Each structure stands twice: as structure tokens, then as C-alpha cells.
Amino acid sequence: MVGDIGDDLGQRVVAAVGAAFDVACTIEDAVVRPSQREGVDYQVNVAMALAKRLRRPSREVAESIVSHLELDNMAETVVVAGPGFINITLSTGWLGEHTSRLAADSRLGYVLATDPQRVIVDYSSPNMAKEMHVGHLRSTIIGDSLVRLMEFAGHEVIRQNHIGDWGTPFGMLVEHLIDEGLAERDFSISDLNLFYQQARTKFDADEDFAERARTRVVALQAGDPATLELWNRLLTESKHHIEAVYALLGVRLNPDDYKGESTYQPWLNDVSDELTRRGIAEDSDGALCVFLEGFTGREDQPVPLIVRKRDGGFGYDATDLATIRYRAQDLKGDHLIYVVGSPQALHFAMIFAAARKAEWVSPETTTTHVGFGSVLGEDGRMLRTRAGASLKLTDLLSEAVERASALVAGRTDLPEEEREEIARAVGIGAVKYADLSSDREKDYVFDWDRMLAMDGNTAVYLQYALARIRSIVRRAGEAPPLGSPVSLTEPAERDLALRLARFPDAVQTTITNLQPHRMATYLFDLATTFSSFYENCPVLKSEGQVRESRLALAAHTAAVLERGLDLLGIAAPERL
Ligand code: ARG
């Protein structure tokens, strides 16, 4: 089986450490990293930490590891440098053989997880009865990419779209529909947006309306049929709207994945009883609260999770407590992931701590809030329309496709239908890639020109590179069979082979850190490495074995780019 070179070296280092010293060393301790240093392919950093444990000079420890290291024919040179780094340069002959083995592997060297986990991913999760806005874009596309990556790695993923489909907004809306006689009418999502604003204005200004809206929430909770019917109509319309956005984005979320706030309403009493009984929740001024150690706000005031409000109602905190109990205890997730903006970091830290205190979440279970920054306009402020309104996702995505159409308008050689498909892939891809290629924890500036640039770290650059490589392979006539021999004579061939070999590591670091930008960076590096290979090494004009080998490298690069883009959820048109 062919796998990651770093993992292979790591196992060999573990064996060497075991043979040289009488200490336990795991593959995690072995720390083998791809090296950026000229002439060095991998660096092993285990000696320094080991030297501390053994109280011996680190260079001596490194030398001793090297003398026990069995690398068969993998390495050209193994050198100890500085305080005890072990620098490995792979044998070019071996790398060629490794490359042809990789090319024959449908997983491109990434070995399925040996301990598959059940991962629950909460993402997208927009609020209903409002048009989805750009704020939900990030959660949707980051979550989608993480899901694709973890499924590729062999984990079982359960998607949870925690839509906001409950609470005061619905009391307000239903009351407004009845007030205005709108209940009899058909309505669309833009109507809903308007109704929401009107209802909100009335709610804030008119105490009588506010009171009726609150009573309406109680009726909703009590399951009053007329109220439920209107609530359902609002939801159905909202779902049509978000499904259209998901389809446009090519995001893998479907109706089975909806587990909105309303789902958990039947359990809220039970959750608050359980927390009270176990002494985790306590009364505070008539509200039922959970106070957790270490969570304080201004002037060291403890910040509570509010399980039940003073008026007896349940809110966002209570719903998330019931939700995490369900995900850990009923769905039995090993890893619970929440892809939600960074402003909710404190909320999730407290939900996780409370769920651990209640022993709903076991110590073996991992909980992660995958936070992210805001999308900013070119003025550095939150992205808005020129008129200052919050930007709607559908408008933004149609503009992306429109701008991309202008890019391909000149390609009159392509059938109209294909041009449209390309415009869609390029436009949507540009928006997604701009988001995924930046470190998610930072804010990023939404800049049309930059995200649609043909050169630079953009989707269209990668899509174009892939289309070009495919066309080279196509023009060659028959592609060389998978796994045909690869010989690496030119430095540019070797560089490309080494990049290709690092795909499994790119997948793994992306998953470990839950940072899609790492995959994006890898793909961009791969595409630029290919482009210098192509400049230096003629493919179609070369002959015999050399031509076969270069074609194999090209076909393999196409396969990796295609897979990588797919893991980011970015479509790759056949031609561009
Ligand atoms: N609907 C929420 C919002 O728009 C996000 C929900 C995230 N998921 C959760 N389990 N709280 O802010």
C-alpha cells in the first residue's frame, strides 16, 4: 500500500528510536515534516525533545537515531544538522517509483482513517423567515468543505443544519400575518423579509402587539393548530429559499439534515430538570442559570448560561444544551463540530463546559467550535450594499456568475450551454475559494477583481490550470496507463513529484486543524510547480520514455487538482 512519505519515515524513526534507546516513542513524537530547505525533502525533529528526556546532548541522540535508521533505498542522504535536526534527501530513483505507485492509487496516497470517527457537523444553520445573508455564507462553505474532507478521510459524518425556526420572531410573524390578513395569501421569501421588518417595527413600537406576539409564541409552544399551520407555511417558504441557495452553491445539505431549534423544544423541560436535579443549574433572580468556573465578564462578574428565563421561556442557550445532549448521547458523536462565527466563541465554550460537567459529553469526545471572522467590504467595514442594507446571498451569487460570464463571453467557440456552465463554476468557485483560501479566523475583504483574477491564488487560476493539463493529456492521444514508470531527470520533474507526494499530508493537516486554507495553499503551490515544470520540460514534444513519464506526471497532477478542488467543493469545468 502506498501512503504518505512523512508517515512512512515517521514509522521508521519510531523503530530507530526504539532500537537505539530504551524509551517509548510514538509516531506523534517522531515529528517528521516536509522541509522548505533547499536540497532537503524531509526533516526529523525528534532528537531535541528526546535529548531532554534522556539528558544527553541532542546531536549525539540524532547521530544515534541515524545509525539505527533503516531507510532501505528511500534516501539519498541523511544528515544531522544544527542542534540535532535530521535532514533527509530522498533518492530520486525511489521518488520516481513512489510517484508511479501513487498515480495508480485511486486515493492518491491518502490512507483511510484506521480509527474512523462519527463526526457531527453543525453548519449553515441560518435563521428562517428571513432571507439568508452573506453572514451565513462562510458557515455554509467552510462546513461543506470540512464535511467533504472528513468523508474522504473515511469518517462517518452526520450533518446538522441547526436552522433558527423557533421563538419570538415566529410569534411576531404569525401575529403580523393574522393582523394584516396576509394569512390567506401566497407569499414569497422577499415578502417574508418585508413582513419580518414590519413585524419587528411593530414589535418594538407597539406594546399591545408585542404582548400578542409573546402570547402567540406560547400558542406555538402549546401546539395550537392554527398557529402551527401558519408557522409551517413560513418555514416551507424559507426552506425553498435556502434550498435554492444550496443548489446554486453546490453544497451537500438536504432536507434530511435539518435539525432546527424547534426539534429540541420537547426536551427543554427535561434538560432543565436534569441540570437542576444534579445541582448544575441554580436559581438566579428567578431565572435558572448555569454558572461555570472561569467564565467571567466585566469586573469579574460571572457570566451564566440561561437555561430558563425569568418569564419561564427557553432561549438559545437552553436549545443548545438540549442539542449537545442529543448529539453526544443519541447520535453518539465522537467529535462534535460547530461551524459558527467567532462572536459566538464564548457561547460554545460554555455549552461545551456545561455538557462535560453534566457528563453528557465524555472525556473521549472532542468538541470544537470552528469559528470564523467577518466578510468585509473594500472600505474595511462589514460587507453591505451601496445603499447600506445588508447584502443578500442570492444577489451576491448572481453577481458572481454575471461577472464570470463577462470573462468567458469571448469564448464563442464554445456552445452557449457550456459557456453558462463555465460561468457558474467560475463565479461560484471564485466566491467560495476567496473564502476558503483565507485563514478562517481572520476577517477578509470581499474584492471582486481579486477573486476573479486569472493569475494569483484564485479558483479560476486553478480551474484554468486543471483544464490546461487535461487538454495536454487529451492532445497526447492515449493517456499513459496508471502506474506507468516515472523517471525524474530534470529538477523541475523532481519538484513536481515531491509536491504530488505531499497531497496526503495536505489533506491531513487540513483536517487536523480544520483549516481549509491549507488545502487551498497546497493546490496553489502544486499548480505553480506544474507550471514551472511545463516551462522547463516539454511534454508533447518529447519522445519515448521521457514523453510517457512526463505525461504520467501531468495526468497525476490533474487527478490531484481535481480531487483537491472537489474537497473544497469547487467545480472544475472540463474546458475553460
Ligand atoms: N442560527 C444561528 C445564527 O444565525 C446559528 C446557529 C449555530 N448552531 C448552533 N447550534 N447554535 O446565529
Residue 378 belongs to a domain: no
Q: What is the DSSP string of 541-568?
A: TS-HHHHHHHHHHHHHHHHHHHHHHHHH
> pLDDT above 90 covers what percent of the chain?
86
79-107 average pLDDT score: 97
Higher pLDDT, residue 544 or 182:
544
Q: How many CB atoms lie within 10 A of CB 34?
A: 18
For residue 382, how many other CB atoms are within 10 A of its CB? 14
10 CA to middle of ligand 1, Å? 41
In this structure, is residue 376 part of a structural domain?
A: no
107 vs 182, residue with greater confidence: 107
Average pLDDT of the residues in 432-439: 97
Highest mean pLDDT (candidates 125-129, 135-139, 464-468): 464-468
Give the residue among 274, 168, 245 at the shortest CA–CA distance from 214: 168
Q: Could you give the CA distance from residue 130 to residue 190 in angstroms, rounded to a whole number?
A: 8
Beta bridge partners of 118: 156
Strands (E) located in 285-412? 287-296, 302-308, 335-339, 366-370, 375-376
Rounded to 10 degrees, the C-alpha dihedral 423/426/428/429 comes to 160
Whether residue 381 is contained in a domain is answered as no
Protein residue with least CA distance to atom 8, ligand 1: 162
How far apart CA 242 and CA 131 sit, in angstroms, is 8
Q: Is the CB of 320 under 6 A from ligand 1?
A: yes
Same domain, 180 and 241: yes
Distance (Å, whole) CA 559 – CA 555: 6
Give me ligand 1 centre to Cα 126, in Å: 7
Q: Is 79 left (phi over 0), alpha (psi -120 to 50) or beta?
A: beta
Instruction: Please tell me the predicted confidence (pLDDT) of residue 153.
Output: 98
Pocket lining: 127 vs ligand 1, CB cutoff 6 Å: yes
Ligand 1 pocket check for 129: Cβ under 6 Å: no
CA of 340 to the centre of ligand 1 (A): 7
Q: Radius of gyration (Cα) for the chain, nearest Å?
A: 28
| Alpha helix (H) residue ranges in 188-250 | 189-205, 207-221, 225-249
How far is residue 456 from each of residues 13, 430, 462, 572, measured CA to CA in Å?
Answer: 38, 12, 9, 17
Look up the CATH number of the domain holding residue 301.
Answer: 3.40.50.620
Number of folded domains in the chain? Answer: 4
Examine the domain organization and report whether 457 and 561 are in the same domain. Answer: yes
**Residue 276 and residue 187 share a domain:** no
For ligand 1, say whether the CB of 319 is within 6 Å of any of its atoms. no
Of 212, 227, 251, the residue that ends a domain is 251
- The range of the structural domain enclosing residue 239 comes to 168-251
Average pLDDT over residues 198-226: 94
The pLDDT tens digits of the residues spanning 508-563 come to 999 999 999 999 999 999 999 999 999 999 999 999 999 999 999 999 999 999 99
- Residue 388: which pLDDT band, with cuts at 50, 70 and 90? low
Residue 266 has pLDDT above 80, yes or no: yes
Which of 214, 232, 251 delimits the end of a domain? 251
Question: Any idea which residue has 459566538 for its cell?
Answer: 344
Q: Is 161 in the pocket of ligand 1 (CB under 6 A)?
A: no
506 and 426, same domain (yes or no): yes
pLDDT given at position 330: 98
Residues 64 and 127 in one domain: no
Atom of ligand 1 nearest to the CA of 347: 11
User: How crowded is residue 425: how many other Cβ atoms within 10 Å of its Cβ?
Assistant: 24
User: Based on the domain organization, do 354 and 421 belong to the same domain?
Assistant: no
State mean pLDDT over 483-511: 97
For residue range 290-305, list pLDDT tens digits in order: 999 999 888 889 999 9
* pLDDT score, position 299: 87
Residue 104 lies in a domain: no
Q: How confident is the model at residue 387 (pLDDT cuts 50, 70, 90)?
A: low
Contact of 159 with 195, CB cutoff 8 Å? no
Nearest by Cα to 312 from 351, 254, 268 = 268
Judge if 505 and 431 occupy the same domain.
yes
Is residue 558 situated within a structural domain? yes
CATH number of domain containing 34? 3.30.1360.70
Say whether pLDDT at 495 is over 90. yes
- 259 Cα: distance to centroid of ligand 1 (angstroms): 11
Q: Is 383 part of a structural domain of the chain? A: no
Integer Cα distance of 108 and 98 in angstroms: 11
Point out the ligand 1 atom lying closest to the alpha carbon of residue 127: 1
Task: Kindly state whether residues 239 and 307 are assigned to the same domain.
Answer: no
pLDDT tens sequence across 315-364: 999 999 999 999 999 999 999 999 999 999 999 999 999 999 999 999 99
- The distance from CA 126 to its chain's CA centroid, rounded to whole angstroms, is 17
Output the CA 349–ligand 1 centroid distance in Å.
14
Q: 106 exposed, middle or buried (CB, 10 Å; 0-12, 13-18, 19+)?
A: exposed
What is the pLDDT of the chain when averaged over all its residues?
A: 94
Please tell me whether residues 265 and 128 are part of one structural domain: yes
CA angle 401, 236, 120 (to 5 degrees): 75
User: Which pLDDT band holds residue 1 (cuts at 50, 70, 90)?
Assistant: confident
Is residue 133's pLDDT more than 90? no
Same domain, 461 and 561: yes
- Give the C-alpha separation, 218 to 229, whole Å: 15
Taking alpha carbons only, the member of 263, 351, 270, 339 closest to residue 306 is 351
The verdict on 433 and 505 lying in the same domain is: yes
Q: Are strands 287-296 and 281-284 parallel, antiparallel or unpaired?
A: antiparallel
**Spatial contact of 329 and 360, defined as CB atoms under 8 Å apart:** yes
Phi-psi region of 65 (alpha: psi -120 to 50; beta: other; left: phi over 0): alpha
576 part of a folded domain: no
Residue 189 lies in a domain: yes
Let me know whether 312 and 206 are in one domain.
no
pTM: 0.95
